Amino acid sequence: MHFIPSTSSHPHTFLATSRLLLMGLLLLFIAGCATNSANSKPRPPEPDLSELAHKAAQQMVAGNPEITRYNPMIAATFVNIDNLTQSSTFGRISSEIMASALAQQGMQVREVKMRHSMFIEEKVGELILSREVQSLSSQYNARSILMGTYAQGQDYLYVSTRVVRSSDAMVLGSADFQVKLDNNMRSLLEGQGGW
């Protein structure tokens, strides 16, 4: 009687099978780690004020391509929605950045440092142009004015901006955006004061 040894009991075959199994498990483990690291990518940073202002300017012009016919434009400092006679470094720089963004979209911006250029009638909530703005508009032959307000929340600053026709305060374009309230933004708000 002849005995034929089974291949499974052969030591070389057993080692080869074990190695293949081990390599397969190792590859599965590595693939699992790669999937987990791909899913745990860090979140992209929040857009900054400049990015948001440029998007808002694009939105305004896209919403009303005729807006660029109301050149030149002058820019008023953005004000605190809770106290319309008060602004801050944030309000001043927001106005400057927004004016720059609109200039890149085709608006002609006249450089004017304005004081007391706008207010909102508190009971009605209507945008009103003061006599000083009308006088400056006339002096600089401005056909439109950039205005804006901002409000501080717990985690974000909310900005509402619009371009109005200087002759009758008709809104030609508007956009809203929110900026992450980080330490940088808080420091810009600390310089509260009149404009």
Q: Please give the Cα distance from 41 to 23 (Å, whole number).
A: 27
Structure token digits, residue 98? 């927004």
Q: Please give the Cα distance from 57 to 176 (Å, whole number).
A: 10
Give the number of C-alpha atoms closer than 13 A to the C-alpha of residue 61, restricted to the C-beta side.
18
Answer yes or no: is pLDDT of 81 > 60.
Answer: yes
What radius of gyration, in Å, describes the C-alpha atoms of the chain?
A: 31
Closest CA to 159 of 83, 88, 81: 81
- Could you tell me which residue, 111 or 157, shows the higher pLDDT? 157
Q: Please give the Cα distance from 178 to 83 (Å, whole number).
A: 19
How does pLDDT run across 103-144, given as a tens digit for each residue?
999 999 988 754 444 444 443 333 445 556 666 677 778 899
Q: What angle do CA 89, 91, 94 make, to 5 degrees?
A: 105
Q: Please give the Cα distance from 23 to 17 (Å, whole number).
A: 10
Q: Please give the Cα distance from 175 to 170 (Å, whole number).
A: 15
**Reported pTM:** 0.69
Q: Please give the Cα distance from 114 to 74 (Å, whole number).
A: 9
Closest CA to 157 of 103, 91, 101, 99: 91
pLDDT band at 77 (very low <50, low <70, confident <90, very high): confident
pLDDT for 87 = 85
Q: Is residue 30 exposed (0-12), middle (13-18) or buried (19+ Cβ within 10 Å)? A: exposed
CB 185 within 8 Å of CB 157: yes
Mean pLDDT across 91-109: 94
- Could you tell me which residue, 64 or 38, shows the higher pLDDT? 64
Closest CA to 52 of 120, 144, 150: 150
